[in-house]
């Protein structure tokens, strides 16, 4: 995978994970995900995966 593509995917995962976590915790309202613990867990997994992808792709030469 190219470095730019993996960095972009990592950023996208972090953003999506942040939104899903906020919705799951009830900070963002107006969705079926609001207040659901499942979406908090999924969002946190996306956040961790995105950060890991960013770290590994930015450390590559």
Classify the phi-psi angles of 12: left when phi > 0, otherwise alpha if psi is within -120 to 50, otherwise beta.
Answer: alpha
Helix axis angle for 37-59 and 3-25, nearest 10°, is 160
Say what the pLDDT of residue 28 is: 87
Q: Report the predicted TM-score, pTM, of the whole model to 2 decimal places.
A: 0.87
pLDDT(1) > 70: no
pLDDT in tens, 14-45: 999 999 999 999 998 888 888 899 999 999 99
Say what the pLDDT of residue 31 is: 86
């Amino acid at each position: 995978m190219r470095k730019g593509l993996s960095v972009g995917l990592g950023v996208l995962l972090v953003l999506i994970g942040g939104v899903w976590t906020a919705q799951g915790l009830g900070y963002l309202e107006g969705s079926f995900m609001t207040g659901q613990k499942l979406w908090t867990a999924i969002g946190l997994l996306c956040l961790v995966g995105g950060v890991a992808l960013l770290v590994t792709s930015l450390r590559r030469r």
